[in-house]
Amino acid sequence: MHIPDGFLSTPVWLALDATGLPAIALLARRARRELEEARTPLLGVMGAFVFAAQMINFPVAAGTSAHLVGGALLAIALGPAAATVVMTAILTVQAFVFQDGGILALGANVFNMAIAGVLAAWLPYRLWGRGAHRRAAIFAAGALSVMVSALLAVSELVASRVPVSRAALAFLLVVFGISAVVEGAITVAVVRAIERLSPRVIRQGGTEPSWVLALCGAGAVLLAGAGGLVASTNPDGLQWLGGQLDILGRITNVFTAPLADYRARWLGSPWAAKAAAGSAGALLVGLICVALGRAAARPRSA
Amino acid sequence: MHHVVLERWSRGASFLHSRDARVKILVLLAYLVALATTPLTPAAGACYAALLGVAIVAARLPLAGLALRAAAVLPFAGTFALFSLLAGDGARAASLVAKSYLSAAAALALAGTTSMPKLVRALESLGVPRFLTLVIQFLYRYLFVISEQAQHMRLAALARGGGRLRFTHAAGAAATLFGRSYSRAEGIHGAMLARGFHGRMELLADARLGAADVLFLVAGVAAAVALRLMTGAAA
């Protein structure tokens, strides 16, 4: 689901560019610190591998075939920060060279696939990647990465008032569900084959399973995917909430106080307020994700 | 393959080819923002298409080939345009298809007049982190090599009578490709270190902004702003 330019409304693409791209800059710095230098070419070559692997057809029922999407495989093989950087590089090349996804929409696509998709893949693998549930964890990683990215993309389209009827939405959800299951199955098969062929490569996921973390993770994934969709199909509800809490009013007040004359010009206009609210929301989700990641990554002595 | 064609196009020598890549990116962004914020009527769409057409002709890029390649957006755009059409909003459907198609063609005009190393270096000097641009360059360089390897593997499988792979066999093929890519990456890094790689790809000449570049920047942005102002109120 690469969103091309021309589909997202200005507040949506602006907010996602303004939050997604700085987040990538931070993650790139982090990935660079975490990795030994030897892995820089590795990241590029792994990106090329994901492109090339899409030529390999996996047979699915009734004569159709599918291919690897790869976000989950990258998260499992390289770790989340590096996988995010590789996915961003892939999306950038796709936008500039292959016209797969727009350039103004790059922030949105990066947010959906490189940030949220990789995080959704990494959480289950991190939590259950070792031990009895390893297979299920890898399956969940593949399936969730596709599902969360696709749901976010549709939420953004709906929030941009691209008309998607209930029937069309139901159709899309079925398509996403099937793609998610297929990606999960492909990821499991490929990871197991890699482990047999080159056993040192794959990182072992998982610490001791923790139900608290698992619930937090599930909550974050649910919020990112389903929550976005529900919120965007019910904009009135979001506005009601905003009105109740007077969030929008306060945000515009804070921003416009020093620029009172311009208030009516553009900061007071509804789309600027929406963009500000959207950025604040995305930032909040980002901070929650970072906090969760920190908590999950902390080595436990028990 | 697809990007081989772009490599050939980007080696041209027109006025647009020799402009600084940073300037071209900024002009592209101005055009895309203007297009994205315009409520697209047929007349406005024609104006934007005409401006882009002038640029493509000036760059001596093949118009038909470029138009065909920009059609890569149509599967996605068509699906959602169909949803709009079914929801009874024909004008919206047409605008979605036209906007995404024109945006893709404009991005192609940039990629078709700028070689990848220059484009990546320009992105870097516009603020994209060095680590990311380095990964992009490695990716683009080995995209070709590894895709070819994948094709060889498919051919080899066909030659052995495996017309349609079974699921586990396909997984095995992907894993083999993964393993080969992985060890290739290690080899690449060793070889690059041996040749004095210090974390940055070098270009033969550093980009300098000339008078023509500044002129192109001003003219390009002015054209985008003028189009935007001509074509109506904020979306």
Averaged pLDDT for residues A273-286:
64
Nearest to A187 by CA among A58, A98, A298: A58
Averaged pLDDT for residues B27-35:
95
* Residue B64 sits in the same domain as residue B156: no
Averaged pLDDT for residues B17-23:
91
* Position B15 in a domain: yes
Count of helix runs (H) and strand runs (E) in chain A: 13, 2
Measured between alpha carbons, how far is A196 from A16 in angstroms, rounded to an integer?
40
Say if residue A230's pLDDT is above 90. no
pLDDT at site B136: 93
Greater confidence (A39 vs B94) lies with: B94
Say if residue A16's pLDDT is above 80. yes
Say if residue A50's pLDDT is above 80. yes
Nearest to B59 by CA among B107, B109, B104: B109
Averaged pLDDT for residues A239-243:
52
* Position B111 in a domain: yes
Lowest mean pLDDT, pick from A49-63, A183-197, B69-83:
A49-63
pLDDT band of A74, cuts 50, 70, 90: very high
| CB–CB contact A5 B72 (8 Å) | no
* Position B204 in a domain: no
Token pair recorded at residue B178 = 């993964």
* Residue B9 sits in the same domain as residue B110: yes
Start-to-end CA distance of chain A, whole Å, equals 42
Averaged pLDDT for residues A251-258:
47
What distance in Å separates residue B192's CA from the closest CA in chain A?
9
**DSSP codes of every residue in B40-90:** --HHHHHHHHHHHHHHHHHTT--HHHHHHHHGGGHHHHHHHHHHHHHTT-H
Count of helix runs (H) and strand runs (E) in chain B: 10, 0
pLDDT band of A211, cuts 50, 70, 90: low
Select the highest-mean-pLDDT range: A127-136, A157-166, B61-70.
B61-70
Averaged pLDDT for residues B216-231:
90
Q: How many residues does chain B have?
A: 235
* Chain A CB contacts of B145 below 8 Å: 48
Q: What is the pTM of this model?
A: 0.84
* Position B205 in a domain: no
Which of B139, B142, B164 is the best substitution to test chain A (most A C-beta atoms within 10 A)? B139
Q: Classify B106 as helix, strand or coil.
A: helix
Chain B residues 189-208 within an 8 A CB cutoff of chain A: 189, 192, 199
Token pair recorded at residue B222 = 């002015």
Percent of chain A topping pLDDT 90: 31
Instruction: Name every residue whose Cβ is closer than 8 Å to that of residue A164 and which is 6 or more positions away in sequence.
Output: A154, A157, A158, A172, B80, B83, B87
Measured between alpha carbons, how far is A31 from A54 in angstroms, rounded to an integer?
25
**Helix or strand run (H / E) with residue A59:** strand A58-59
A–B CB contacts, 8 A cutoff, strictly below:
258
**DSSP codes of every residue in B178-228:** HHHHHHHHHHHHHHHHHTT--S-PPPSS-----HHHHHHHHHHHHHHHHHH
pLDDT at site A128: 81
Which of A30, A49, A91 is the best substitution to test chain B (most B C-beta atoms within 10 A)? A49
Largest CA distance in chain A: 67
Measured between alpha carbons, how far is B33 from B94 in angstroms, rounded to an integer?
19
Among the partner residues B72, B80, B172, nearest to A157 by beta-carbon distance: B80
Contact of A136 with A38, CB cutoff 8 Å: no
pLDDT tens, position by position, B151-191: 888 888 888 876 666 788 888 889 999 999 998 988 888 88
**Number of domains making up chain B:** 2
pLDDT tens, position by position, A83-100: 999 999 999 999 999 888
pLDDT at site A256: 45
Measured between alpha carbons, how far is B3 from B72 in angstroms, rounded to an integer?
13
* Residue B110 sits in the same domain as residue B222: yes
* Residue B63 sits in the same domain as residue B176: no
CB burial of A231-262 (b: ≥16 within 10 Å; e: otherwise) equals: bbeeeeebeeebeeeebbeebbeebbeeeeee
Percent of chain A topping pLDDT 70: 67
Measured between alpha carbons, how far is A129 from A122 in angstroms, rounded to an integer?
9
pLDDT tens, position by position, A136-167: 999 999 999 999 999 999 989 988 888 888 88
CB burial of B199-219 (b: ≥16 within 10 Å; e: otherwise) equals: eebeeeeeeeeeeebeebbee
* Residue B119 sits in the same domain as residue B79: yes
Say if residue A200's pLDDT is above 90. no
Say if residue A247's pLDDT is above 90. no
pLDDT tens, position by position, B106-143: 999 999 999 998 999 999 989 898 889 999 999 999 99
Contact of B106 with B28, CB cutoff 8 Å: yes
* Residue B220 sits in the same domain as residue B150: no
* Residue B174 sits in the same domain as residue B78: no
* Residue B111 sits in the same domain as residue B225: yes
Say if residue A274's pLDDT is above 70. no
* Position B199 in a domain: no
| CB–CB contact A55 B110 (8 Å) | no
Averaged pLDDT for residues B100-104:
95
Average model confidence (pLDDT) across chain A: 78
Say if residue A292's pLDDT is above 90. no
* Position B138 in a domain: yes
| CB–CB contact B72 A68 (8 Å) | no
Contact of A115 with A145, CB cutoff 8 Å: no
Average model confidence (pLDDT) across chain B: 87
* Position B102 in a domain: yes
Start-to-end CA distance of chain B, whole Å, equals 39
Instruction: Name every residue whose Cβ is closer than 8 Å to that of residue B4 and which is 6 or more positions away in sequence.
Output: B144
Averaged pLDDT for residues A171-175:
91
Select the highest-mean-pLDDT range: A202-211, A259-268, A287-296, B53-62.
B53-62
* CATH architecture for segment(s) A10-297: Orthogonal Bundle (1.10)
Token pair recorded at residue A13 = 């693409």
Amino acid at A266: W
Averaged pLDDT for residues B51-79:
91
Torsion of CA B102, B104, B109, B114, to 10 degrees: 160
* Residue B64 sits in the same domain as residue B151: no
pLDDT at site A267: 44
Contact of B170 with B150, CB cutoff 8 Å: no
Greater confidence (B157 vs A213) lies with: B157
* Residue B98 sits in the same domain as residue B20: yes
Say if residue A264's pLDDT is above 50. no
Instruction: Look up residue A66 and give its DSSP letter.
Output: E
Nearest CA in chain A to B178: A49
* Chain B CB contacts of A59 below 8 Å: 164-167, 170
Instruction: Look up residue A295 and give its DSSP letter.
Output: H
Percent of chain B topping pLDDT 70: 91
* Chain A CB contacts of B184 below 8 Å: 45
* Chain A CB contacts of B134 below 8 Å: 40, 44
In chain A, where are the structural domains located? 10-297
Contact of B1 with B98, CB cutoff 8 Å: no
Q: Give Cα A115 distance to the centre of its chain.
A: 4
Among the partner residues B32, B86, B189, nearest to A41 by beta-carbon distance: B189
Residue-range definition of the domain harbouring residue B134: 128-194
Percent of chain B topping pLDDT 90: 45
Torsion of CA B64, B71, B229, B30, to 10 degrees: -90
* Residue B61 sits in the same domain as residue B104: yes
pLDDT band of A228, cuts 50, 70, 90: low
* Position B178 in a domain: yes
